[in-house]
Structure 1
Amino acid sequence: MILFLCRFLCYDLCPKKNERMKMINTIVHLDEIRFEEKDPGNLLDSIRQRGIAIPVQVNVRDGYYECADGHKRLSAAKILRNEKESFNRIPVMILNDYSKAGSSFWGNTQNRH
């Protein structure tokens, strides 16, 4: 299912015909990502137990990454990195300029672990 959705977003929702969205998954240090700190709420315990299961979506900026989706997950990781070093390494999906093409597909959903 996830592979299907990823293909759908990558290939079918591109703003220009014959252009494909590129999404790159990698690991980034928490300090390299700029994000708006939010109350992680019930995500804190979930991420403490399971880690970050869904990559945070970021855009590449000049010398840093900017969070597009996942502010609460990053806020939880920032709190939890004092307990465990591994929370400094964040799984991210790096989006290109066309990344907003598929955002309406998801609507106002919330990530749940």
Structure 2
Amino acid sequence: MATPIMLVTLQEAKDHLRIDEDDGDPDLTLKIQGASAALLSYIQGSRDLIVNSAGELIEETNELSRMKSALLVLLGYMDRNRGGEDGEKLSQGNLPFAVTMLIYDLRQPSVV
């Protein structure tokens, strides 16, 4: 089984969210993995600008920096809305505006 892709490290996420304790690390790791998958799914056809064929991040690119920023914003949203309290503000399948504004032009929808 492949290791889930994490666009940011656990420490980067903890620094952004200003978390000092380690108690919530497993939960935060799951959120990083889930949010990473959601963002990679959102950009669809541009995924190869972020992740190579081996599933490794393509470091030091503008695209990866933007994805990392978007992921940190999304983690902040997820942290503030642990129970989906703001769910009615988003339509199903959409990401918060602050997230998409960072990566919208990377989105290349796949035609099925």
TM-score calculated relative to the size of structure 2 = 0.32
